[in-house]
Amino acid sequence: MPRRIVIIGAHAAGVDAASAARKTDRTAEITLITKQKQAGYSPCGIPFVLGRHIPSFDKLIVFPQSYFRMMKLNLMLETTATNIDTKNKTVEIRDKTGKQEKLQYDSLIIATGAYPFVPPIKGREKQGVYVLRTIEDGKKIDQAINNGAKTAIVMGAGLIGIETAVALQERGLRTTVVELLPQILPTMLDADMAKSVQEMLEQKGINIMVSKGVEEFLGTDRVTGIIAGGEQINADLIIAAFGVKPNTELAKKAGIAIGETRGIKTNIRMETNVKDVYAAGDCAECIHMVTQRPALSQLGTTAVRQAKVAGINAAGGYAVFPGVLGSAVTKLFDTEIGVTGLTEFFAKRAGLETITGTIASKTRPEYYPGGVSIKIKLVVEKETERIVGAQIVGGEQVTQRINALSFAIQKQMTVRDLAKADTAYAPPLNETWEPMVLAAEVALRKLR
């Protein structure tokens, strides 16, 4: 009898898990369940559709219906998983008509993702606060802009909040960002690096208010403004980007262990504490490679890597997930931002004593036209001299430098090793002295 694999969730983690399972077991019956009308799209692209860099939401569909047919995957759209019975190995589901049934499984993968949350702010019950998580959310915001919205407030200055604010500004809306913490991008950048990004955004016309909590939603039935830091701000379009929480209700109800990050606890094979039940993606906890502590990464790159491991193991193969560094990049207007490993702040919180090396350089020699600024910060553990984190803000070539520094951290490279790195140079492409090497030398001087 063929192996029955049920996957709850059909986006980055769900579809990649199904693909890996199919490649491992050609005969398995694989079923994917999603509440949404559309499966297999990239939510990371939504702000870039809003900013008109991508022409339509349809372009975000990575896996069309033909893919599921070709891979012999049974995709159930607009279907909700309501209960998991791990003893009898069944998943109860309900479709959009209300019809209920039970699916039997041999292996189960939970890829339920995360959901956007709004804190208990006065007036939260009012209509008209948008979130940005799904294509449907993106379409609603796009419709509001097309209907003539001229001003916007984005509450939260994390990655999604800032990308959305940039998109709205690009569409011609006067945009204000409100952030409770004293800096923008608090999980990505240290305050010194975030400051230069904030200044750039303000030069582009975005109004940024840090150290200001949202105290109240204003308006009668619909929200027309907020009070933040004692100040009233009105806007046509109000978006909550306070962050997301792992979607673990179904797992919790089934008695599956939840970890200290509030994600589903998994081991290196992405197995939960229940036999034959795996988890992957934004709902799943894993290990941070530097701290060796539980981490909740919630990045698309993490989701697909975890999913591949979960899919192979669910289909009877063997694979392990080594952990995360939280490597991430984005582009805001003409500025690229990247991070890998720990910031100075998070290193200190993990009990590591660090020093840093920061350098401002150019991407090409002064004499060659078109070179742009690049600023690199390395975070180095003082005792071992290991590189444990890096942040880069620049006009170009940020991604591959972040990737290189991610390799360096994974291989436990010391700052001394990096300072001796053999790097490439040509006037149209790079300086003779690679900026990463210069940052390493600055850090070394502090160590001496």
Catalytic residues: 44
Q: Are 276 and 91 in contact (CB under 8 A)?
A: no
The token pair that represents 392 in the structure block: 């880069």
How many helices, marked H, and strands, marked E, lie in the chain?
Answer: 12, 25
Q: Are 109 and 310 in contact (CB under 8 A)?
A: yes
Nearest-angstrom CA–CA distance, 331 and 163 = 8
3-class DSSP state of 201: helix
Q: Which residue has the tokens 């279907």?
A: 79
Phi and psi torsions of 196, nearest 5°: -70, -35
Q: Are 95 and 78 in contact (CB under 8 A)?
A: yes
Residues 299, 304, 307, 312, CA torsion sign:
negative
Nearest-angstrom CA–CA distance, 192 and 184 = 11
Q: Which of 200, 84, 60, 197 is nearest to 134 (CA)?
A: 60
Pairing of strands 90-95, 207-209: unpaired
Report in angstroms the alpha-carbon separations of 30 from 84, 261, 274.
17, 30, 20
Nearest-angstrom CA–CA distance, 136 and 445 = 52
Collect all residues with Cβ–Cβ distance below 8 Å to 135 and sequence separation of at least 6.
36, 38, 41, 43, 46, 57, 60
Nearest-angstrom CA–CA distance, 166 and 173 = 10
Q: Which residue has the tokens 């983690």?
A: 13
Nearest-angstrom CA–CA distance, 183 and 197 = 10
Nearest-angstrom CA–CA distance, 20 and 296 = 22
Collect all residues with Cβ–Cβ distance below 8 Å to 179 and sequence separation of at least 6.
156, 157, 161, 186, 208, 209, 210, 211, 212
